Amino acid sequence: MADPNEKPGFDDSVNWDFMPTVVERALSRFPILERTSIKTGWAGLYEDTPDKHPILGKVEGVDGFICAAGFSGHGVMHAPATGELIAELIVDGRTSLDIGPLRASRFGAGDLVREHNVI
Give the DSSP letter of residue 2: -
The answer to whether residues 55 and 48 touch, using CB atoms and an 8 Å cutoff, is no
Nearest alpha carbon to residue 49 among 116, 115, 117, 94: 115
Q: What is the pLDDT of residues 5-22, one digit of tens each?
A: 888 888 889 999 999 999
Q: What is the pLDDT of residues 43-70, one digit of tens each?
A: 888 788 888 899 999 999 999 999 999 9
The domain spans of the chain are: 1-45, 55-109
Q: Kindly state the percentage of the chain with pLDDT values over 90.
A: 66
- Statement: residue 118 has pLDDT above 70: no
Residue 101: the pLDDT is: 96
Distances (CA, A) of 60 to 12, 32, 36, 65, 70: 31, 51, 51, 8, 17
Distance in angstroms between the alpha carbons of the first and the last residue of the chain: 14
Q: Kindly state the percentage of the chain with pLDDT values over 70.
A: 97
Give backbone dihedrals phi and psi of 56, rounded to 5 degrees, phi first.
-130, 135
